[in-house]
Chain A
């Protein structure tokens, strides 16, 4: 199957960073904090590059929506083997309120524009843990979706996806074009090699604005307040089962 795969990559705060809430409680501190590609997006890129290496698809296009720094994330995808990149520039207030609905509108528009066979995304981002963008993109495109993929195989005109679900593993076969979201065990992302990093410099990243795609970025959500999770309270030791039941009743739990 020849064809193009669109891979969405998100620039998020690096997973090893200790997150701090801003003093005004409007969000978390991002200035001067190390960012990197969302780990699930890395898995998505790896899967796309693997499909290209198996000659099942022809071109991998990496897309990111965000400010100027998102280009670094696209470069990482290029260094892993993506062929070209698209940077949809969103900054300032628009970026603060950018969420799955807006991104999925952008991705849907791009998928149509690029005539993609597959859109592969990470299942969720580690900053907002929304787990919505893949599903919304599929809905907007009216394409089938294979989410939480732990195994993907392409066949003529179809994709077989093994999904990780609560009860175990579910295997589905869906028609292409389709949207897939990568789960943890889909693959182990490769390290970019030094030669590939240098080759990535020559690969193109196209710039565009959401308006170019006719996408309206207004958010339907308003963040009221961001707080740290409550400190874990100390527990209590009880002597007998009666004590335990008594304490639970006191706390209104029983």
Chain B
């Protein structure tokens, strides 16, 4: 049913045209507000513009009105995510024969950037889910692909990526969760920390040690919820990303069929890292969406708020600050899209470029959102205003999927290692 609600600024609409929009000025981000120079549709093909349009519409109608509530109530919005999956967002770069949409990394980046303007936390979880679905699609055999991917693409089932442990974050290859082969099962012992979706999701893509020390001893197993020996820690209380639960995932003599191993023994670390390359682009894309929404919010606020007898938009300092924010936003966007294209083509510099994109974009976009909050003055600190949620939600992007410090390690290694 078309829902009608009061409109404030957009007077030309007369009576109630928009479906489900409550354009309560500045409280819900007016993502479709136009500022030409940062328009994210520049340089895209017509088809990509269509993808972007669907994602923007979905974000504005289905996510933005609930973003604050999901954050406050810590709701995992299963129904909304399933609606997104119906549009093809459950397995965007998974192959179509198992239910995926078969799109490119660049298409994916564009979609996540647009969705993120509606809710960063939910979009970030959807991107993690996509990453897991891709890992199974790419490294699983046909039985595994057919068993897991269709349900993941439709979000009938949800996935989690389990690499980090209490004792191994940046030093991921030193992970300790062991997987001992016993007959046609692996017996898992150990625990994973900070797992997004942990406890509420159905399929856990777990990196565990089947061999000796270091990355070559690590394998990748798909563990299903309900397997005896699989349990979860308490739900963590976080500063942001509150629309997805985060829990420890605990294995106590958890028997997993060997048929659930993705790829060969010892291939797990490589699978994990390949998943993360795309994951880094996705996370950076989520930061982009938040920054875009924040720039629009800041712009709108500057045009309205008056001090010293004139609108803030007349202050040269703020004009210059806004210009800097817009410039860094566009620069970030170009870097992410370039990295996405490089990854799609499997170029030799793809891994480093993805790391550069993740490093630069998550940092810059956080600064943009933070600056947007500052421009709101005291109002920026109130939860009634969306900008603080963008700041809180994207802060963690500088930490997960490889800290920005680890990104520097990857980049400097590329420069300093003679090959």
- Is A bound to B? yes
Q: Are B12 and A16 in contact (CB under 8 A)?
A: no
Q: Which residues of B contact A191 (CB under 8 A)?
A: 54, 57-58, 87
Interface 1/0s, chain A 193-221, versus B by CB < 8 A?
Answer: 11101101100000000000000000000
Report how many residues on chain B are interfacial, defined by Cβ distance under 8 Å: 36
CB-CB contacts of B1-40 with A at 8 A, as 1s and 0s? Answer: 1101000011011101111000100000010111010010
| Min CB gap A166→B, angstroms | 13
A95 within 8 A of B: no
The minimal Cβ–Cβ distance linking B274 to chain A, given in whole angstroms, is: 23
CA distance A200 to B47 in the complex (A): 9
On whether the beta carbons of B92 and A194 are closer than 8 Å, the reply is yes
Per a CB cutoff under 8 Å, which of B23, B47, B89 touches A198? Answer: B47
Specify the chain B residue showing the minimal Cβ separation from A190: B87
Contact between A75 and B87, CB atoms less than 8 A apart: no
Q: A39-B17, A126-B12, A184-B16 are in contact. Are A192 and B34 (CB under 8 A)?
A: no
User: A152 an interface residue at 8 Å Cβ cutoff?
Assistant: no
Closest A residue, CB atoms, query B303: A18
The reply to whether B53 and A76 form a contact with Cβ atoms under 8 Å apart is yes
A72 at the interface (CB under 8 A from B): yes
Q: Is A94 in contact with chain B by the CB < 8 A criterion?
A: no
Residue picked from A14, A191, A193, most chain B C-beta under 10 Å = A191
User: Which residues of A in the span 92-128 have a Cβ within 8 Å of any Cβ on B?
Assistant: 126
Complexed CA–CA distance, A197 and B53 (Å): 11
A158 at the A/B interface (Cβ < 8 Å)? no
Are A126 and B17 in contact (CB-based, < 8 A)? yes
Closest CB of chain B to A69's CB: distance in Å? 10
A18 — which chain B residues lie within 8 A by C-beta?
A: 9, 33-34
**Chain B residue at smallest Cβ distance from A197:** B50
Complex: A130 Cα to B53 Cα, angstroms: 27
List chain A positions with a Cβ less than 8 A from chain B.
Answer: 14-19, 32-34, 36, 39, 71-72, 75-76, 79, 126, 129, 184-185, 187-189, 191-195, 197-198, 200-201
Q: Is the CB of A192 within 8 A of B18?
A: no
When distances are taken between beta carbons in the complex, the residues of chain A under 8 Å from B51 are: 194, 197
Report B92-143 residues with CB < 8 Å from chain A CB: 92, 96, 101, 103
> A75 vs B39: C-alpha distance in the bound complex, in angstroms?
20
Known contacts A19-B12, A191-B57; is A79 also within 8 Å of B50 by CB?
yes
Chain B residue contacts of A79, Cβ below 8 A = 50
Cross-chain contact of B88 among A17, A189, A193 (Cβ < 8 A): A193
Assess whether A194 is in contact with B19, with CB atoms less than 8 Å apart.
no
Q: With an 8 A cutoff between CB atoms, is B49 at the interface?
A: yes
B79 beta carbon closer than 8 Å to chain A: no
Residue of B18, B32, B34, B87 touching A39 (CB-CB under 8 A): B18
In the complex, 21 of the A-B residue pairs with CB atoms within 8 angstroms, ordered by the A residue number, are: A14-B32, A15-B17, A15-B18, A16-B33, A39-B17, A71-B46, A75-B50, A76-B50, A129-B14, A184-B2, A184-B16, A185-B1, A185-B2, A188-B1, A191-B54, A192-B50, A194-B87, A194-B89, A197-B50, A198-B101, A200-B50
User: Is B46 within 8 A of A75, CB to CB?
Assistant: yes
Instruction: Assess whether B86 is interfacial by the CB under 8 Å rule.
Output: yes
Does A197 contact B54, Cβ atoms closer than 8 Å? yes
Q: Evaluate contact between B50 and A188: CB separation under 8 angstroms.
A: no
A188 engages B89 (CB within 8 Å): no
A137 to chain B, nearest CB (A): 22
- Report whether B32 and A194 are in contact in the complex, using a CB–CB cutoff of 8 Å: no
Residues of A within 8 A of B14 (CB): 129
What is the CA–CA distance of A143 and B311 in the complex, to the nearest angstrom?
55
Contacts of B57 in A (CB 8 A): 191
A17 to B30, CA, bound (A): 10
- Which residues from 233 to 284 on chain B have a C-beta closer than 8 Å to any C-beta of chain A? none
Chain A proximity of B47: nearest CB distance (Å): 6
Question: Is the pair A34, B54 in contact by a Cβ cutoff of 8 Å?
Answer: no
**Beta-carbon nearest neighbor of B57 in chain A:** A191
| Contact present for B103 and A194 (CB under 8 Å) | yes
Which of B10, B54, B57, B86: most chain A CB closer than 10 A?
B54
CB distance from A41 to the nearest CB of B (A): 12
Residues on B with beta carbons closer than 8 Å to the beta carbon of A189: 19
**Can you add 8 more A-B contacts, CB < 8 Å, to A126-B12, A129-B14?**
A16-B10, A16-B30, A16-B32, A34-B32, A39-B17, A72-B46, A188-B19, A194-B51
Closest-CB distance, A90 to chain B (whole angstroms): 20
Looking at A33, A193, A194, A198, the one whose CB has the most chain B CB atoms below 10 A away is: A194
Q: Complex Cα distance A188/B17, Å?
A: 11
Q: Which residues of chain A have C-beta atoms less than 8 A from B30's C-beta?
A: 16
Looking at the assembled complex, report how far the CB atom of B194 sits from the nearest CB atom of chain A, in whole angstroms. Answer: 31
Chain B hits for A194, CB < 8 A: 51, 54, 87-89, 92, 101, 103
Selected from B16, B19, B23, B47, the residue in CB contact (under 8 A) with A197 is: B47
Tell me the bound Cα distance from A130 to B131 in angstroms: 49
- Bound: A33/B96 CA distance, A: 35
